[in-house]
Amino acid sequence: MTKAVRKEIAIFSQFYDPEPCAASNRVASLARSLAERGHHVTVVTGMPSFPKGVVEASYRGMKGCVEYDGPVRVVRRRAPLAEPGALAGRMRNWISLALVLTRTALLELHRTDTVIVSSPPITMAIPALAASWRHAAALVVDVRDVFPDMGVRLGLWNSRSFVVRALELFVKLLYARAAIVVAVTQSARESILARGVPPQRVVLAPNGFDFSQAIKPRRRLQRRIFEVAYAGNMGLATGLDMVLDAAKLLLDRRDVRFVLAGGGLDASRLVARIENERLTNVRFLGVLSRPESLELLTEADAAIIPLHAGLVDAIPSKMFDALAVGCPMILSAQGEAVRLLRASGCGMHVEPNDAQALAGGIVSCLAERDALERGARAGQAFVRENFDRERIMRGLARQIGALA
């Protein structure tokens, strides 16, 4: 057996632990898996600021720092932050951090054999390309959302606009430079292949659930109220306005309650809606820690998973969380997410962007609690067998370690 070669690996990511989001969890799992294989891994990122849009208190006043996540070296650099809560401000934050990390890539990184970039945001490709060029290193592009497709489907960009044409050219150049392009769903892989990337260079490595973390046993509370919960990012891809519209339709029912937890671009606006429209059947908990979010799902009667109708190649990580803790799902989406729901047998599908359909689905679920719980128990076995994130990331780490 050939002895594994220890490599110097740099990962560029907008998000990293302790930021509570799917991107952070995925990057951390990959970094740790690579380190377990004996590689020297450095994550290059910013100061933790997601989802509130302000730097965490313990990092304020620092221009940069180096810390360790177990064997993983984490290099953090500070970039100017715009006012939170606006899309334009968030884009400026992405660009400013990319420029700061490009300087780090060119002037501060030592010998690097492999460079990995986690996208979106697509701006993280700028320092990754700089590091790959500077060190003549192999490039791996981990594509969590395909750009510019996602922006077009969300209605942010016109498909014929200059922005989309420029991004399309940049993405093709990025993929052409990459030794491996990683897709998280099969349909995303097909979109990448359609851009001319050879099939042997496009790897499928889906998201999943980290079973090394503690999961409290599922608790069915003895209550008359049917509680539906959402825990996660509150941004453009999620249909949370539609969830509030459904809550408004069910306002007269005393046996249904909504619980929303999280933060992000839309959080303050959603809170204002809850207050202004007197949605007394909605509780807003704000940002929760990872364990607290999972505990919320263990106690909820169902998890609401809303996704913008255009994002047909996405599977929200919230689905894996619900499956792992045994919480039935009410999924409002299309495409890959629906296929996963049907394969797991854990919940109900309703049409996306349709508050009436969601409200009707919640009422139907209320009458079928026992059947939902049986499906959710089967879903726990399904996700453990098919979507163990550590096992998936270890497989990806082997492929990255094998690059010449």
Tens-place pLDDT, residues 182-218: 999 999 999 999 999 999 999 999 999 998 887 777 7
- Domain limits, the chain: 8-208+388-401, 226-386
Q: What mean pLDDT is predicted for residues 234-260?
A: 91
Give the count of beta carbons closer than 10 Å to the beta carbon of residue 349.
18
DSSP assignment, residue 388?
B
Return the CATH number of 226-386, one of 3.30.750.24, 3.40.50.2000, 3.90.870.10, 3.40.190.150.
3.40.50.2000
CATH of domain 8-208+388-401: 3.40.50.2000
What's the pTM value of the predicted model, to 2 decimals?
A: 0.90
DSSP assignment, residue 287?
-
Q: pLDDT-based confidence at 375, cuts 50/70/90?
A: confident
Residue 199 burial (C-beta neighbours within 10 Å; 0-12, 13-18, 19+): exposed
Q: At what angle do helices 317-325 and 22-36 cross, to 10 degrees?
A: 80
pLDDT at residue 203 in the model: 96
Examine the pLDDT at 389 and tell me if it is beyond 80. yes
- Same-fold call for 8-208+388-401 versus 226-386: yes
Examine the pLDDT at 2 and tell me if it is beyond 50. no
Give the count of beta carbons closer than 10 Å to the beta carbon of residue 40.
18
Query: pLDDT digit string (tens) for 134-189?
Result: 999 999 999 998 888 878 787 778 888 998 899 999 999 999 999 999 999 999 99
Half-sphere exposure at residue 224, Cβ-oriented, CA atoms within 13 angstroms = 3
Distance separating alpha carbons of residues 242 and 351, to the nearest angstrom: 11
pLDDT at residue 3 in the model: 47
Query: pLDDT digit string (tens) for 17-34?
Result: 999 888 999 999 999 999
